[in-house]
């Protein structure tokens, strides 16, 4: 006997909600009856993160987002980053799993000398998701720090942190064939420290183009169990006394590790 004729809709919704977003979409293709189950709000509400309402309420489009059906809202959050915390941070969902991805914008980071206009300027770039990016004019002491509380991340997830940046082709100096130090700290314990060049030609394996006009380099990774690992901190440093110019910072992204890569 056909399962959709035996079990009531509420049980079918529970079953589909225990699969995954991918499986729910494939189930929609099975028959009309299973499609109406697979598309229903009860299912997609389970795929959205449990605190989605409070995250959305921090954004300017919150009322229109909350009026969407839950499946539409899920895919919207996967495709369009939401800005919050005064437009300095962005939030998005990873499509396959519904896990949260965050980008700390340049304004959410601590940039040493960042407020001195002769060292760093703040500009708007079309390609940036944020209102402002930080562009390095000239500095000897390059130090950029960021942090995020692990409790806002999705539980039971392997997260990887990336520095998202560009080197201004004309003005960048001090990055070619030179290393910067990237540090990844979980709950005040240094989890990873390493030296890497930000120039893709030096380092094509680690410095990759993201496809949105920016480059990224991995800072480190950690497994977030239930969000009680305290604060996760990141830092970029190069303080060895030579001038650096032309680094443009979009921010630091934290997203689930993608095994398919």
Partner 1 sequence: MGSTSTKIKLRTSDQKVFEVEKAVAVQSQTIKYIYENGCPDSVIHVHSVSGDILSKILDYCKKHVNSAAGKEDISPEELYEWDANFVKVDQNTLFDLILAANCLKIESLLDLTCQTVANMIKGKRPEEIRTTFNIKNDYTIEAEEAVRRENKWAFDMLGGVGTMVIEELADDTMSKCVTNTKSRVCVIAANQIVMMRSISKLANKKSIDVYKQPQNPTTPRIKESVKQRNVGTGFIELFFHFKCKM
Q: Whole-number minimum distance, CB 78 to partner 1, in Å?
A: 9
Q: Work out which of 9, 26, 195, 225 binds partner 1, going by CB under 8 A.
A: 26
Q: Which of residues 85-144 bind partner 1 (CB under 8 A)?
A: 95-96
Comparing CB distances to partner 1, the nearer of 72 and 132 is 72
Cα separation, 156 vs 229, whole angstroms: 12
8 A C-beta contact, residue 174 and residue 180: no
Q: Whole-number minimum distance, CB 228 to partner 1, in Å?
A: 21
Q: Does 28 bind partner 1 (CB under 8 A)?
A: yes
Binding marks (x or -) toward partner 1, 50..89, rule CB under 8 A? Answer: ----------------------------------------
Cα separation, 204 vs 208, whole angstroms: 7
Q: Which stretch binds partner 1 (CB under 8 A): 29-37, 192-200, 213-221, 241-249?
A: 29-37
Q: How far apart are the first and last CA of the chain?
A: 41
Longest dimension (CA), the chain: 76
Q: Does 9 bind partner 1 (CB under 8 A)?
A: no
φ, ψ of residue 70 to 5 degrees: the values are -65, -30
Q: What is the DSSP string of 104-138?
A: EEGGGSEETTTT-TTTEEEE--TT-SSS-EEEE--
Question: Where on the chain is the footprint of partner 1 (CB under 8 A)?
Answer: 1-4, 6-8, 10-11, 14-16, 18-23, 25-35, 95-96
């Amino acid at each position: 006997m056909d399962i959709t004729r035996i079990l009531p809709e509420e049980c079918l919704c529970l079953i589909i909600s225990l699969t995954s977003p991918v499986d729910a979409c494939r189930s929609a293709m099975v028959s009309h009856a299973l499609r109406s189950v697979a598309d229903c709000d009860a299912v997609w509400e389970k795929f959205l993160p449990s605190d989605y309402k409070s995250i959305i309420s921090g954004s300017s489009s919150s009322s229109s987002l909350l009026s969407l059906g839950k499946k539409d809202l899920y895919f919207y959050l996967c495709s369009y980053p939401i800005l919050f915390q005064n437009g300095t941070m962005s939030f998005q969902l990873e499509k396959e799993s519904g896990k949260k991805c965050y980008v700390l914008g340049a304004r959410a980071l601590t940039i040493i000398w960042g407020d001195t206009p002769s060292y760093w300027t703040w500009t708007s770039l079309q390609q940036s998701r944020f209102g402002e990016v930080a562009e390095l004019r000239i500095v000897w002491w390059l130090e950029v720090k960021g942090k995020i509380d692990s409790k806002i991340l999705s539980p039971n997830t392997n997260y990887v942190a990336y520095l998202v940046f560009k080197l201004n082709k004309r003005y960048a100096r001090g990055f070619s064939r030179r290393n910067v130090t990237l540090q990844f700290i979980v709950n005040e314990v240094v989890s990873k420290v390493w030296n890497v060049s930000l120039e893709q030609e030096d380092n094509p394996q680690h410095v990759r183009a993201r496809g949105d006009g920016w480059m990224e380099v991995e800072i480190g990774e950690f497994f977030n169990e239930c969000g009680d690992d305290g604060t996760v901190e990141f830092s970029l440093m190069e303080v060895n006394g030579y001038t650096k110019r032309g680094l443009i910072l979009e921010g630091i992204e934290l997203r689930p590790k993608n095994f398919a890569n």
